[in-house]
């Protein structure tokens, strides 16, 4: 091009094109957790298994999940995941597995394992771009009809393509997905499918999971509870969590004829009293039509809401695992000497997003990383809405909260070598993940603090156990020492003082018992003082 020659606007923008969500994520697979062959493999298992558990729970069915991985070439595997859920209607199968950003979870203001409606469909895309193969699906419903088909994604249109479809009668109920993948790798390590399923079983004690690895070995994680968790109910969003853009968008689509009616219709905890308080703080009438609401007026409403006290968010949308279920599951699968659990009252972050924190500390036995206490070290199990978080450990608020605790105060010295498993779960209608891969929770102050408080509470309990165990060991050693020398002392006293041997032996035994009791009393008083100090620490931080 000659110097000084201008480029036309048409030339600059001739390459301007639209593209679909499927095209975008095809080129940005790392955003969904498909980075590296090991992580990609575990991500695939995660997406299929969480969908299966969700389907079973929605149908009121105790989940029986089967996962099978077969190797058919270098870094090439066939993955099969089967559940006993209610199955899918034929017209839904394509959208569920062949269309990104389609699903039931995005618009529901309630707790769910997934949030975007991307994962399972992207597994279909990943199979296509690495093997050129479609995903084979078999699904059966209560009506006794079985539908079988091959599903792929039209990436340009972000639309499902269905081939080889057939429908027939049979007794199979549930969904079975079989897909081939390359650029993946199976590992038995801490980031592999087996560990992912182990952790899934811990946080979902109502599930039974059978896993067949590429070598044909089978591992079963039996359910430890036959109680299905309550299904979370969709609730209206809390006013404290709204933004100016939320209000403006709502105003353009609401059927309400007045802004006051719109606020009552679309938000929880918004009664006539609160509307009057808002009205007193804004310069316009809430009786205006939502269609006429300006950005500045929406800003005024949001500002007023922030200054008004509302009741806490409704918690029907958030269902925790439960301390009893966590304890039973950890005892069964981790097999520690002891486990102590703690949970926190429901809280909200960003003003109005409800969440609940649950923790457990498992000590000794099979707890920690390693085969014995000599080789163990602390193990942190992170969960969000019962889903294991295996990757991005360092950047997660859950990990940072665990590492912020001064564990020496709880009798846990040399943490890196202790046989300790730390379990942390956050349940929320909206988990603030750091990325679309959903493997780390962002540093929200309220979440960070609640994890710390729960860990400190569980830490007090384990401190009593660890100190008590140490006291018992010292007491037993003292008793052995005193008893070892007692015959010699008795003989000396008998010879010198001409005392009765039987009486002297009995007197010394009673002295040993009394001495040990005094030690116990002093140690109990010391333990109570330590517990009071810890209570004060927790109260001060809260």
423 neighbors 359 (Cβ within 8 angstroms): yes
151 neighbors 93 (Cβ within 8 angstroms): yes
State yes or no: pLDDT of 487 exceeds 60: yes
Higher pLDDT, 523 or 343: 343
Strand partners of residue 481: none
- In tens, the pLDDT along 12-32 reads 455 545 545 555 555 555 666
Can you spell out the DSSP letters for 301-327?
HHHHHHHS--PPPP-TT-----HHHHH
| pLDDT bracket for residue 75 (50, 70, 90) | confident
Cα angle 212-208-191, degrees, rounded to a multiple of 5: 55
- In tens, the pLDDT along 183-208 reads 999 999 889 999 999 999 999 999 99
Question: In degrees rounded to 5, what are phi and psi of residue 358?
Answer: -130, 140
Q: What is the mean pLDDT of the chain?
A: 84
Higher pLDDT, 211 or 318: 211
What pLDDT does 525 receive? 53
- Token pair listed for 28: 């940005």
State yes or no: pLDDT of 119 exceeds 80: no
What pLDDT does 16 receive? 47
- Token pair listed for 42: 């575990």
- What is the rounded average pLDDT of the residues 394-412? 90
What pLDDT does 466 receive? 77
- Token pair listed for 346: 């429901």
Question: In degrees rounded to 5, what are phi and psi of residue 158?
Answer: 50, 55
What pLDDT does 218 receive? 96
State what percent of residues in the chain have pLDDT above 90: 49
- What is the rounded average pLDDT of the residues 139-157? 88
What pLDDT does 157 receive? 79
What pLDDT does 107 receive? 44
**Segment holding 520, helix H or strand E:** helix 501-541
* DSSP-based three-state secondary structure for 161: strand
What pLDDT does 372 receive? 45
Residue 164 burial (CB count, 10 A): 10
237 neighbors 266 (Cβ within 8 angstroms): yes
State yes or no: pLDDT of 533 exceeds 90: no
What pLDDT does 473 receive? 63
Can you spell out the DSSP letters for 365-427?
TT-SSSSSTTT---EEEEEETTEE--S--TT-HHHHHHHTS-GGGGT--SGGGS-EEEEEEEE
Higher pLDDT, 290 or 236: 290
* DSSP-based three-state secondary structure for 66: strand
What pLDDT does 530 receive? 53
- In tens, the pLDDT along 241-279 reads 888 999 999 999 999 999 999 999 999 899 999 999 999
* DSSP-based three-state secondary structure for 27: helix
What pLDDT does 506 receive? 78
Rounded CA-CA distance 171/198 in Å is 30
Could you tell me which of 168, 204, 172, 208 has the C-alpha nearest to residue 86? Answer: 172
**Segment holding 138, helix H or strand E:** strand 135-140
| N-terminal to C-terminal alpha carbon distance within the chain | 68
Q: Long-range pairs for 215-224 at CB < 8 Å and ≥24 separation?
A: 219/194, 221/197, 221/333, 222/332, 223/62, 224/325, 224/328, 224/329, 224/332, 224/333
In a 13 Å sphere around the CA of 407, the CA atoms on its Cβ side amount to: 18
Tell me the C-alpha to C-alpha distance, in Å, between residue 54 and each of 47, 201, 250: 11, 14, 29
What pLDDT does 2 receive? 53
Rounded CA-CA distance 101/32 in Å is 13
- Token pair listed for 500: 């009765």
| pLDDT bracket for residue 117 (50, 70, 90) | very low
What pLDDT does 467 receive? 76
248 neighbors 293 (Cβ within 8 angstroms): yes
| pLDDT bracket for residue 33 (50, 70, 90) | low
**Segment holding 47, helix H or strand E:** helix 37-58
Can you spell out the DSSP letters for 385-399?
TTEE--S--TT-HHH
pTM reported for the whole predicted model? 0.79
Lowest mean pLDDT among 376-380, 385-389, 470-474, 520-524: 520-524
* DSSP-based three-state secondary structure for 131: helix
Residue 509 burial (CB count, 10 A): 13
- In tens, the pLDDT along 91-114 reads 888 888 877 655 444 444 567 675
- What is the rounded average pLDDT of the residues 326-344? 93
Encode 290-309: b = buried (16+ Cβ within 10 Å), e = exposed: beebeeebbebbbebbeeee
């Amino acid at each position: 091009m000659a110097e000084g020659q201008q480029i036309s606007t048409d030339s600059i923008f001739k390459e301007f094109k639209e593209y679909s969500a499927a095209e975008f994520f095809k080129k940005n697979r790392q955003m969904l957790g498909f980075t590296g062959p090991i992580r990609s493999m575990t991500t695939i298992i995660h997406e299929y298994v969480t969908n299966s558990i969700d389907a079973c729970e929605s149908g009121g069915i105790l989940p029986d999940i089967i996962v099978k991985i077969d190797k058919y070439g270098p870094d090439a595997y066939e993955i099969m995941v089967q559940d006993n859920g209610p199955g899918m209607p034929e017209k839904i199968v394509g959208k569920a597995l062949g269309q990104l950003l389609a699903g039931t979870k995005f618009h529901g203001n309630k707790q769910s394992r997934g949030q975007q409606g991307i994962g399972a469909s992207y597994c279909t895309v990943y199979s296509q771009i690495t093997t050129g193969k479609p995903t084979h699906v078999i699904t059966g419903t209560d009506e006794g009809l079985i539908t079988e088909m091959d599903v792929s994604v039209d990436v340009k249109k972000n639309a499902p393509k269905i081939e080889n479809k057939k429908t027939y009668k049979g007794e199979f109920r549930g969904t079975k997905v079989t897909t081939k993948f390359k650029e993946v790798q199976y590992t038995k390590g801490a980031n592999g499918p087996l560990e992912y399923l182990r952790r899934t079983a811990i946080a979902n004690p109502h599930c039974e999971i059978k896993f067949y690895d590429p070598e044909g070995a089978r591992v079963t994680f039996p359910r430890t509870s036959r109680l299905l968790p309550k299904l979370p109910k969709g609730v209206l969003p809390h006013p404290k969590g709204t933004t100016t853009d939320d209000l403006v968008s709502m105003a353009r689509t609401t059927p309400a004829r007045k802004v006051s009616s719109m606020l009552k219709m679309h938000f929880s905890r918004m009664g006539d009293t609160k509307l009057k308080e808002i009205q007193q703080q804004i310069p316009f009438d809430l009786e205006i039509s939502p269609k006429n609401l300006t950005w500045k007026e929406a800003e005024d409403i949001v500002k007023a809401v922030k200054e008004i006290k509302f009741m806490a968010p409704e918690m029907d949308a958030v269902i925790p695992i439960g301390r009893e279920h966590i304890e039973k599951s950890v005892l069964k699968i981790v097999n520690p000497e002891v486990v102590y659990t703690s949970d926190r009252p429901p809280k909200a972050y960003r003003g109005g997003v409800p969440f609940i924190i649950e923790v457990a500390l498992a000590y000794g036995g099979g707890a920690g990383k390693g085969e014995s206490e000599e080789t163990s070290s602390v193990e942190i199990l992170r969960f969000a809405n019962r889903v294991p978080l295996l990757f991005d450990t360092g950047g997660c608020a859950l990990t940072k909260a665990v590492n912020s605790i001064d564990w020496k105060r709880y009798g846990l010295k040399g943490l890196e070598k202790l046989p300790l498993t730390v379990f942390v779960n956050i349940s929320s209608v909206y988990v603030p993940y750091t990325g679309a891969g959903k493997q780390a929770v962002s540093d929200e102050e309220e979440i960070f603090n609640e994890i710390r408080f729960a860990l400190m509470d569980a830490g007090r309990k384990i401190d009593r156990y660890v100190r008590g165990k140490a006291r018992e060991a010292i007491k037993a050693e003292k008793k052995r020492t005193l008893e070892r020398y007692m015959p010699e002392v008795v003989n000396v006293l008998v010879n010198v003082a001409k005392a009765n041997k039987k009486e002297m032996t009995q007197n010394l035994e009673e002295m040993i018992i009394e001495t040990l009791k005094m030690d116990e009393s002093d140690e109990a008083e010391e333990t109570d003082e330590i517990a009071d100090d810890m209570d004060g620490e927790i109260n001060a931080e809260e």
